[in-house]
Structure 1
Amino acid sequence: MIKVYYLSKTNSGRTAMRWLENHNLEYVDRKITKKNPIKVHEIKKILALAENGFDDLINARTKKFQALEINENECSTEYLIGILIQNPSVIKLPIIIDEKKIVIGFNEREIRCFLSKEYRRTQLLDSGSYYLEE
């Protein structure tokens, strides 16, 4: 099952969920709040699928992260996980994830990985942007 992690104040989470709905993909939404923060096991699952680990997950350009004056390369995994739990605004969102795939941030091209190969192939054939050589 696809899960979408998002903060309520961001449009990109709603855009990702709308895209999934428009493509008839079932998902579970996971709104990150102070009362229901992201959990350690959730971050570890995300990190396991993220190609570049914390580099993919942390939005180092945010004022909040810069104010923390953290050097990611000198911190333990557990410490950085704690930072993400306490400061969810430094997490790149939305995170769209299933058991094998992950997309961090809404990107219409990348999110297509959740569509079946048959569906993607049919769309390409119907659009005329793909042809089979005989």
Structure 2
Amino acid sequence: MLTIYYGKSCSSNRHAKKWLLNEGIPFREKDFRFNPMTEQDILFLLKLSYNGVEDIISTRSTLYKENIDLLNSLKLSELVRFITLHPALLRSPILFDHKQFITGFNEERARCFIPRHRRKVGMNDFLFTLESDYLTKQANKQTNK
């Protein structure tokens, strides 16, 4: 099951939820403000990440800028605890399932949550359209000669 965590209301959060609904992808939503991420959730995301904490922390947030020296001095366990106490540090939205996650919302990156069989069908439709367009152009060229 896909989970979407988000903080304050913003267009990225609304776009993500709307896109998931339109794609028919079941999800559960959690608002950081009322249902903070657990330490286990954060550690799970860090396990999936390529760049560690940099992938989930919003470096543009005021809280980050005010505490950058402190954050850089914390051990991982302390940092994870700090994040659970200050969810405003997290990027928003965070979409994740059991094997991948993305932060922010980008439709192209979010396609990874569409089940493989549906992505394959979509790709076949796309290729069919390309082939049809190509054949139509070739026929038009033959007609114009």
Q: TM-score, normalised by structure 1?
A: 0.84
Which residue is 2:65 aligned to? 66
Aligned residue runs from structure 1 range 49-128, under 5 A: 49-70=48-69, 73-128=72-127
| Residue ranges of structure 2 left out of the alignment (5+ in a row) | 132-145
Identity of aligned residues (%): 27
Shift of 1:118: 2.5
Q: Distance in 2 between matches of 1:117 and 1:37?
A: 31
SS in 2 for 1:30: strand
Question: How many pairs are equivalent?
Answer: 130
Residues 61-99 of structure 1: CA deviation (Å, up to 9, x unaligned): 222201113365542111211221222122111111111
Residues 80-127 of structure 1: CA deviation (Å, up to 9, x unaligned): 112212221221111111111111111111110011223222223323
Q: Distance in 2 between matches of 1:130 and 1:60?
A: 42
Q: Looking at CA atoms only, which structure, 1 or 2, has the larger radius of gyration?
A: 2
- Checking the alignment, whether the CA contact within 8 Å between 1:20 and 1:27 is kept in structure 2 is yes
Q: Distance in 2 between matches of 1:36 and 1:92?
A: 15
Which residue is 2:18 aligned to? 18
* Deviation larger for 35-44 or 53-62: 35-44
SS in 2 for 1:42: helix
- Checking the alignment, whether the CA contact within 8 Å between 1:124 and 1:130 is kept in structure 2 is no
Residues 32-64 of structure 1: CA deviation (Å, up to 9, x unaligned): 11x432211111111111221101011112222
* Root-mean-square deviation over aligned CA pairs: 2.0
Shift of 1:30: 1.1
